[in-house]
């Protein structure tokens, strides 16, 4: 996938398609939390397009000088991370950010991210009581 063919449009409203895409994420955060945070204005959403085809969604917030990617999901042929991450970096720079952070529990995403110049910076452990 060519990053130059990736485009973003602001997510203006929460719909069934966004909920369905985010339900593909295999983590503990319920989709209803993302919806509430988006609707309250705590998260910004971007619809992700490759050429003219919608391939996913990204939710993020800005914390000081850092873009925090809170969730992202999509489907595409090819390496979606290699195509989308460079474009997210452009948006972060445009917003005045000095860095981007994301949390993941997917080892494959860590490997793909490292190929894009990302560095593993911490481990997060959690125990539910």
CATH number at residue 26: 3.40.630.30
Residue with the bigger pLDDT between 61 and 129: it is 61
- Whole domain around residue 34: which residue ranges? 3-115
Tens-place pLDDT, residues 19-74: 999 988 867 789 999 999 999 999 999 999 999 999 999 999 999 999 999 998 88
Q: What is the pTM of this model?
A: 0.86
Question: Is residue 43 one of the residues assigned to a domain?
Answer: yes
The tally of domains found in the chain comes to 1
Quickly state the pLDDT bin for 99 (edges 50, 70, 90).
very high
Checking if the pLDDT of 126 tops 80, the result is: no
Question: Is residue 127 one of the residues assigned to a domain?
Answer: no
DSSP 47-79: EEEETTEEEEEEEEEEETTEEEEEEEEE--SS-
């Amino acid at each position: 996938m060519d990053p130059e063919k990736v485009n973003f449009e602001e997510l203006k409203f929460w719909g069934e398609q966004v909920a369905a895409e985010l339900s593909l994420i295999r983590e503990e955060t319920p989709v209803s939390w993302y919806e509430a945070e988006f609707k309250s204005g705590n998260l910004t959403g971007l619809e992700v397009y490759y050429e003219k085809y919608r391939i996913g969604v990204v939710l993020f917030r800005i914390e000081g000088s850092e873009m925090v990617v809170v969730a992202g999901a999509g489907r595409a042929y090819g390496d979606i991370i290699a195509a989308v991450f460079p474009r997210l970096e452009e948006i972060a720079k445009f917003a005045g950010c000095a860095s981007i952070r994301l949390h993941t529990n997917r080892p494959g995403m860590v490997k793909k991210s490292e190929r894009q110049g990302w560095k593993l910076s911490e481990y997060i452990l959690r125990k539910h009581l």
